[in-house]
Structure 1
Amino acid sequence: MRKLIFYLIILLVTLSCAGFKKIGTIKLCKNSVENIKGTYKNTPLSKSGFYIRTLTDVFDRNTNMFNWKKKYNREDATVKLEMIKKNLLHVEILESDSILCSKNLRVKLKNDGFLYLKEKRFMIDGIPLVFGGWSFQKSRFTVDSDNNLKIQSNYFYCNGVLILISDWKTLHYDLTFEKQ
C-alpha cells in the first residue's frame, strides 16, 4: 500500500508540472493551420535556453538528459514542417538538402490557438532520486504575423542523490524561428 501511495504521489507531481502560461495574442485557427507549412531555421531569432537550444530539440531530441553529444549541427540544419492530416504533423530535419530524420508527430489544435505536440518526451536517467532523475518536455507552437514559427516549450526535471539531495525545476522557453 505504501508503494502504491508513493507512486501515485510521484505520478501526480510529474503530471501537474510544466504547465503553460496564459499568454497569447497570436492565434492559429483551423483555417490557418496550413500556415505552419514551410522550412525553418534551426536556431532561434532570440537567445536560446539551456535545454531547448534549437528547433531540433523540440521535435527530435536526445532522450538521455545528460547526453551532451550534438545530434545535429546547429547552424546547418533546417526543419521542414507540413500538416498531413488534422492531427498529424510531418517533420523533416534537413542538412545540406539531405534528410537526416523524417517523422510524423501527433498534434492537437486547442482553443487558445496553439498546436500542441501530443508527445511529452519523458526521459529517465539513472535511478530516479537515488542517483539520477527524470524529466519531460511539453511544447506548443503557432505562426506569428511575420510567418515565423513561435514555440513555447516547458521543461520539467527532477534529480536527486539518495533522496536527501533532490531538486526539481520547471524551465519555460519562448522562442521564435525564422521561416526561410
Structure 2
Amino acid sequence: MKFINIILAAFIFSCQHTNEQQKSKVDFFENELLSNSNEPLLNIYYQSDECGEWGGHEETMVISRNDGKTSYELTYQEYSVNCDSMITEYSKYGYYARPLKELVRTTKVVIDEQRKQSILNFSTDMVKSKFNEPFTGHSGVILTISNSDSTFIISTWGGTDKHYLKLVSNLELDE
C-alpha cells in the first residue's frame, strides 16, 4: 500500500511540473528592462518582391519600451510603393534605384504574453528558413529580425513570406 502511495504521489508531482512548464512566460525581453537605453529592442523588416528586382512594399516593426519602461510596445509601419515611379537614392553602398514609397499606415500595440510568443515563434521560423534559403537572382522577399546593438541578426532573401504573414496575423496587425 505504501509503495502504491509513493508511485501515485510521484505521478501527481510529475504532472504538475509539466503543466507549469507549459504555462511558463516568454521572458526574452526581461533582461532589457534593466537597461537605461532608449533604443528599440528588436526590429523586424519585410520587403515584398512585387516590383521584381527593384523590391516592393515595405513593412517595419519596432519593439521598444513604453515611456514608463514597465512594458513593451510594437510600432508597425506599412509603406506602399509605385513600381512605375523609380527614384535614385544614395546609401553607404552608393547610388541605387528603388520604387517611390509612401507611408500608408502606422499602428501601435502593447506587447502581451501572446504577442511575445508570436515573436519568438517568428524568430524560430526565421532560423529554420535560413537553412532552406534558396539562391535568388535579382529579386525576392527580404526578411530581417535584429536587435539594436547588432548582436542578433537573422536576414533572408528569397524564399517565402508565409511565416511573416503569420506573425502579422498573430499580432493582429492586418486590417
Give the structure with the higher percent helix.
2
Larger Rg: 2
Please, what TM-score do these two structures have when normalized by structure 1? 0.28
Considering Cα pairs closer than 8 Å and 6+ residues apart, tell me whether 1 or 2 has the greater RCO.
1
Please, what TM-score do these two structures have when normalized by structure 2? 0.29
Give the structure with the higher percent strand.
1
